[in-house]
Structure 1
């Protein structure tokens, strides 16, 4: 059975993305809710626990190229089931940790094991693509709707997980909460068992679904004898000579820094301002509501505004919302924090849904897969740096104001290369047209 663009089977990709994003974001947010408890339990500086939590999404993204390489040798079904079990096992180990090194190592293992998450989002494309780049390939007419639905998983994770985790903390303690979190993540193993094998895709990235065994990737360019040449070819390292790709890499690095800092430290920041933990958890829920609203209205916004313009507006609004933190903190305003969270969640979702369409416009289609893999590595670098520096700034100053101001500055700096590049390209086009 041939898989076509905008087909019913293609919508399974969007559904899988929705599920994966829900648990990935929800897990990081859940660990962020537990940060004050873990800091107190292990009597350690804030940056240590923050760094440990950021390792989960960080190393999950670093393994993106490995996910692409493994998918050339193994079926997505095997990858999802094996690595999901590893991730769950790592969370179970975290729940019985008795020291900071064991806790950090288990969280690191959770991040590495999240290679299954990447594969779950890409099982339809098997060997040729990973992460959400497949939605660019499998959707054309309904791409905006499919993208919005898939990314709505972030909203669900942010809305549900914070108050749920705080409830679990109050009833079961931090060890029981992490154990329950492991149980929630266990459903990925079952999901992996249900994945249908796929064949190698052709040049148009449209594959055929088979009910027999997985068909491995056909060896390409066998005449390349040089190992280094093979590495450059399979990993598309020539992307690093492309200014458009480098601007997207910078943008995703900044996004990783801002999102992880917000996910991990928003609830601790609210508690530090004097709000009860359970009330503080609903500050994060407000951000999820903003994200969900964005997922609903985004397809309508794209009818009148270009992806680039939405990306620029979104990045600017993210910067402004985070820059308002000193004022909100000065007045200890619960409503102010909630509004700031809603604005951040809304425009962050708009910006990230737009960026995939920008990538589709500036990167050659045959290179999109590896481009998305590499920008996810950039995301991981930003994520890990944020886990460290945002916590370190708190330990240094005694509050989170500097941490959130840094998130604001990084957001603005991240969009600058793409903005300057587009201005330069427009100038060149005008010169050539004269």
Structure 2
């Protein structure tokens, strides 16, 4: 980080904006999950098709990440324009979706337009956070990712209330109104005037960095940060600096497994609970309790990390293992309290892992390349989110219950632990050679 940028400062406003964007993104997904049975009945559709539409929102959102990352690294575009545009699009998308008469219209409005809008708001705000923080980045990352849990707490019961009171069309209209808050948070994304141009950041003592130094000395223009050729456009979108790094590729595989599992769990938790005989409000309550437990976990780890009491990777292994076990035992959870405990255990482990994953990513590729590295992680992970939405829904249509789908999610979670272990071994080997 450049010495001209104080640790934190206006960065806490950026953190609040990124937190709000994540809250609304995951809140939108949870709202659609609550509406899934009604949408399935309204459009006489199969479960997997509605699941794909819901997952498509996150997929399109995440596919915008590499483009926004390239823009951030190479163009002098005020992030406030990007954030406000995203808020307008996401609000319009859900309001327009309330008038849909087919699943195709629902897909175009929610998945495509809504995904692009939320992508502009969320990716732009999230990639600004590491520009403001170094030592306090674990804390900032934890606060940002708490948006997922807070979104569950707010949107799950609120959408159920909207649905029972006004019906699914008015529920989408009201969710679109809530999305308009992104216009306000987008206007707060003040750009950093000067950031560290080196590939490696000043690494906190809790990160074992493995980076190489690089500085850009090319002169830029009022619009471009540096002069570029047509050939360099591909380099901006597909940066060889990170894609030739095996550690980054392993990071990518870990993230894809995590994205697949989280998408399936997030979309189908409420329908899954209802299929086991619980009432809709009980299913929504499971989401709320899981979210509260996750928030406690996300906010509890960073004092331990910042004081070097517990290593980041130890917490990541523990979080992933807890999530995997919770999913694998889920088919035997039949009551409200047993489902609440297993769901809370999964989301607690996932919350800690997700927050720390981005801390590790930043430490390995540096703040300057974080936008591109983060962007490609979420973009490719978005494809796996899309697949999960269809796979779990298809297994339900084929078997009549969600148990096999949740077992698949548990298996993929174990695969992510394996990739994390391989990345850890490879990284230690490379550091020993140096």
Q: TM-score, normalised by structure 2?
A: 0.88
Which position in structure 2 is the counterpart of 1:112? 116
Which position in structure 1 is the counterpart of 2:7? 6
Q: How big is the shift at 1:368?
A: 2.4
Q: How big is the shift at 1:116?
A: 2.3
What CA deviation, in whole Å up to 9, does each residue of 1:74-109 have, x standing for no partner?
322222222321221111121111111111111122
Which position in structure 2 is the counterpart of 1:325? 330
Q: Distance in 1 between matches of 2:294 and 2:4?
A: 31
SS at match of 1:114: helix
Q: How big is the shift at 1:360?
A: 2.7
Q: Distance in 2 between matches of 1:425 and 1:346?
A: 27
What CA deviation, in whole Å up to 9, does each residue of 1:371-412 have, x standing for no partner?
111101122011101111111110111100111111111111
Which position in structure 2 is the counterpart of 1:82? 85
Which position in structure 1 is the counterpart of 2:148? 154
Q: Distance in 1 between matches of 2:140 and 2:368?
A: 21
For residues 68 and 9 of structure 1, do their structure 2 counterparts lie closer, same or farther at Cα, with a shift above 3 Å needed? Answer: same
Q: Distance in 2 between matches of 1:23 and 1:362?
A: 29
From 410, 413, 416, the counterpart of 1:411 = 413
Which position in structure 2 is the counterpart of 1:310? 315
Which position in structure 1 is the counterpart of 2:185? 191
**What are the residue-to-residue correspondences of 1:170-181 with 2, within 5 Å?**
170-181=164-175
Which position in structure 2 is the counterpart of 1:349? 351
For residues 115 and 70 of structure 1, do their structure 2 counterparts lie closer, same or farther at Cα, with a shift above 3 Å needed? Answer: farther
SS at match of 1:97: coil
Aligned residues: 408
What CA deviation, in whole Å up to 9, does each residue of 1:221-275 have, x standing for no partner?
54xx4x3343124541342221111111111111111111111100000111111
Larger mean Cα displacement after TM superposition, 309-318 or 354-363: 354-363
For residues 9 and 204 of structure 1, do their structure 2 counterparts lie closer, same or farther at Cα, with a shift above 3 Å needed? Answer: farther
Q: Distance in 2 between matches of 1:187 and 1:88?
A: 9
Q: How big is the shift at 1:194?
A: 4.5
Q: How big is the shift at 1:288?
A: 0.4
For residues 23 and 365 of structure 1, do their structure 2 counterparts lie closer, same or farther at Cα, with a shift above 3 Å needed? Answer: closer
8 A Cα contact 1:200 1:217, kept in partner: no
Which position in structure 1 is the counterpart of 2:272? 269
Q: How big is the shift at 1:296?
A: 2.3
8 A Cα contact 1:200 1:216, kept in partner: no
For residues 89 and 28 of structure 1, do their structure 2 counterparts lie closer, same or farther at Cα, with a shift above 3 Å needed? Answer: same
**What are the residue-to-residue correspondences of 1:248-267 with 2, within 5 Å?**
248-267=251-270
Which position in structure 1 is the counterpart of 2:226? 220
8 A Cα contact 1:136 1:143, kept in partner: yes
8 A Cα contact 2:289 2:344, kept in partner: yes
Which position in structure 2 is the counterpart of 1:124? none
SS at match of 2:316: helix
The runs of 5 or more residues in structure 1 that have no matched partner are 122-130, 207-214
Q: TM-score, normalised by structure 1?
A: 0.88
Q: Post-superposition, which runs of at least 4 consecutive aligned residues in structure 1 deviate over 6 A? A: none
RMSD: 2.4
SS at match of 1:34: helix
Q: Distance in 1 between matches of 2:21 and 2:268?
A: 22
SS at match of 1:399: coil
The runs of 5 or more residues in structure 2 that have no matched partner are 202-220
